[in-house]
C-alpha cells in the first residue's frame, strides 16, 4: 500500500550578470578611470510550504521553473539589477529529493517554511575593482557565475480530506474512480492510481483534495489492528464523510436503512470522533431502477433515517450526479477555511482590544 503523491520538476536559478568594462568620459578628463559596475546576482528558486494546498496535482501543468538572470553591470559604476527569485508553493509535509543523487534536500513541515532548491549565480565584478597601481585602465571584468539547475522530486504522504464509508459493494471504489483518476480533468495524472482506493480530486488550480475509502470498519477494524491502525491514521484528519449506500441491493432482503445504521454503530464502537464529523448520504446505483422509483426510494430512506445533512442520488458507474458532489465538497472546504480565517481575525482583534483596554 502506498499513499504517496509525487512530482518531478526542474528548477533553474538565474545566472549572475556580467561585470562591466567602462571608463569615465567627461569633457575635460580625456583619460578617465575605470567605472564599470558589477553584474546583479541571479534569482534563486525556493519552495515554500502552504497549508492551503493538499496535493501535488497542480505540478502536472508546470514542470520547469526558472528564475531571472541578473542584469549586467553598467558604466558610471551602476550595478546590474538582481534577478527576481521564484517561489514555488507546495503542500505542508512535502519532502524534496535531488533526483541525480537521491539525497533528501529537505522536508517542509510547517506553513511558511522555505527551502532553497537552486541558488542564483553571483554577479561579476565591474572593472572598477580591477584598478591597481600597475594597471590604471583595466580592460577586465568578472563574468557572472551560472545559477544552479537541478531535477528535484517532490513527495507527499497523502492524508485523506474526505472519507468514503459504506458496506462492501456499495460502490466506493467505483465512486472514487468516477471522481478522480477516471475524470477527464485528472486523467493524465498518474499518482491517483498508486493506490486505487485513494483519489486526488482536482476541482481547479489550487483547489484539490484527497478522497479515500475506509475499508475494514465493518469487518472489525479494532480486531484487525494491522490494516486498521495504518489506515485510520490516514483518515483521521478527514473533515467530511460521504456515506455510500446501495439503493438497489441485489438481495431483496437487504434493507438500506439498516445498512446505514450498522455502519453508524460500527463508527460509534471504533472511532466515535468520526461519528461526530459532518456526513453526507450518497445513495448509489440509481441506474438500476426506473428514475421515479429511484427518487421515491431515496426520499423514503431520507425520511426513515430522519436524515438532516445533505443527501444525493447518484450512479457512480455512470458518473451521474457525482461531479456536483465534488463541487459541493470543495465549497464546503472553502467555507471551512473562510470561517477559520475569520475566527483568527476576531481572536486577533479581541487580543488587541484587551491590550488597549
Which C-beta is closer to Mg ion: that of 75 or that of 199? 199
Name the minimum Å distance from CB 321 to ligand GTP: 10
Find out whether 301 is annotated in a ligand binding site. Answer: no
Q: Are strands 64-66 and 4-12 parallel, antiparallel or unpaired?
A: parallel
Q: In 3-state terms, the chain is what percent helix, strand and coil (to 5)?
A: 30, 25, 45
110 assigned binding-site residue: no
Cβ atoms of 37 and 128 within 8 Å: the answer is yes
The CA R_g of the chain, rounded to the nearest whole Å, is 30
Q: Rounded to the nearest whole angstrom, what is the least distance from the CB of residue 212 to ligand GTP in the complex?
A: 12
Identify which range of 66-74, 104-112, 187-195, 281-289 contacts ligand GTP by CB under 6 A: 281-289
Q: Is 3 annotated as a binding residue?
A: no
Of the candidate spans 7-15, 118-126, 166-174, 202-210, the one that interacts with Mg ion by CB under 5 A turns out to be 166-174
Which DSSP helix (H) or strand (E) runs through 345? helix 322-356
304 touches which of ligand GTP, Mg ion, none (CB within 5 to 8 A by kind)?
none
287 carries a ligand binding annotation: yes
d(CA 22, CA 125): 12
Q: How far apart are CA 46 and CA 66, in angstroms?
A: 10
Residue 173 sits in the site that holds Mg ion (CB under 5 A): yes
Mark residues 154-183: x for contact with ligand GTP by CB under 6 A, - for none: ------------x-xxxxxxx---------
Q: Which among 143, 156, 175 is positioned nearest to 322, based on CA atoms? A: 175
Cβ proximity to ligand GTP: between 213 and 271 the closer is: 213
Counting contacts by CB under 5 A, is residue 77 touching Mg ion?
Answer: no
CB 79, CB 124: distance < 8 Å:
no
Residue 318, marked binder: no
* Other Cβ atoms within 10 Å of 20 Cβ, number: 27
Nearest CA to 322 out of 312, 330, 332 is that of 312
| Alpha-carbon torsion (287, 290, 295, 296), positive or negative | negative
Rounded to 5 degrees, φ, ψ at 291 are -50, -45
For residue 193, state whether it binds ligand GTP (rule: CB under 6 A).
no
Q: Which is nearer to ligand GTP, 154 or 176 (CB)?
A: 176
DSSP 30-93: SS--B-PPPPPPPP-EEEEEETT---SGGGGT--EEEPPPPPPPBTTTBPPPPPPPEEEEEETT
Per CB under 6 A, contacts with ligand GTP among 288-327 are 288, 315-317
Of 117 and 286, CB closest to ligand GTP: 286
CB of 312 to Mg ion, least distance (A): 19
Give the residue closest to Mg ion by C-beta: 173
Tell me which residues touch ligand GTP (CB under 6 A). Answer: 166, 168-174, 215, 284-285, 287-288, 315-317
Binding-site annotation: residue ranges for GTP: 166-173, 191-195, 213-216, 284-287, 315-317
Amino acid at each position: 500500500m502506498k499513499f504517496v503523491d509525487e512530482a518531478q520538476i526542474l528548477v533553474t536559478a538565474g545566472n549572475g550578470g556580467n561585470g562591466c568594462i567602462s571608463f569615465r568620459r567627461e569633457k575635460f578628463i580625456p583619460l578617465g578611470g575605470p567605472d564599470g559596475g558589477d553584474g546583479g546576482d541571479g534569482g534563486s528558486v525556493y519552495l515554500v510550504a502552504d497549508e492551503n494546498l493538499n496535493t501535488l496535482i497542480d505540478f502536472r501543468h508546470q514542470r520547469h521553473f526558472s528564475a531571472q538572470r541578473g542584469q549586467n553591470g553598467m558604466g558610471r559604476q551602476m550595478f546590474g539589477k538582481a534577478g527576481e527569485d521564484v517561489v514555488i508553493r507546495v503542500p505542508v509535509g512535502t519532502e524534496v529529493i535531488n533526483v541525480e543523487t537521491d539525497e533528501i534536500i529537505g522536508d517542509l513541515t510547517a506553513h511558511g517554511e522555505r527551502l532553497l532548491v537552486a541558488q542564483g549565480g553571483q554577479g561579476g565584478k565591474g572593472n572598477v575593482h580591477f584598478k591597481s597601481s600597475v594597471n590604471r585602465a583595466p580592460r577586465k571584468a568578472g563574468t557572472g557565475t551560472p545559477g544552479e539547475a537541478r531535477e528535484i522530486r517532490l513527495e507527499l504522504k497523502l492524508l485523506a480530506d474526505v472519507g468514503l464509508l459504506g458496506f462492501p459493494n456499495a460502490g466506493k471504489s467505483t465512486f472514487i474512480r468516477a471522481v478522480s483518476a477516471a475524470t477527464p480533468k485528472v486523467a493524465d495524472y498518474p499518482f491517483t492510481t498508486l493506490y486505487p482506493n485513494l483519489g486526488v480530486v482536482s476541482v481547479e488550480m489550487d483547489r484539490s483534495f484527497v478522497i479515500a475509502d475506509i475499508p475494514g470498519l465493518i469487518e472489525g477494524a479494532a480486531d484487525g489492528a494491522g490494516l486498521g491502525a495504518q489506515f485510520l491514521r490516514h483518515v483521521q484528519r478527514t473533515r467530511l464523510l460521504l456515506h455510500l449506500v446501495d439503493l438497489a441491493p441485489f438481495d431483496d432482503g437487504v434493507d438500506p436503512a439498516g445498512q446505514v445504521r450498522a455502519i453508524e454503530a460500527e463508527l460509534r464502537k471504533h472511532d466515535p470522533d468520526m461519528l461526530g464529523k459532518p456526513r453526507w448520504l450518497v445513495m448509489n446505483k440509481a441506474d438500476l431502477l426506473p428514475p421515479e422509483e429511484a427518487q421515491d426510494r431515496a426520499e423514503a430512506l431520507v425520511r426513515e433515517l430522519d436524515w438532516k445533512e445533505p443527501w444525493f442520488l447518484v450512479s457512480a458507474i455512470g458518473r451521474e450526479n457525482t461531479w456536483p458532489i465534488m463541487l459541493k465538497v470543495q465549497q464546503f472546504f472553502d467555507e471551512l477555511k473562510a470561517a477559520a480565517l475569520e475566527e483568527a481575525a476576531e481572536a486577533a482583534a479581541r487580543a488587541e482590544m484587551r491590550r488597549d483596554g
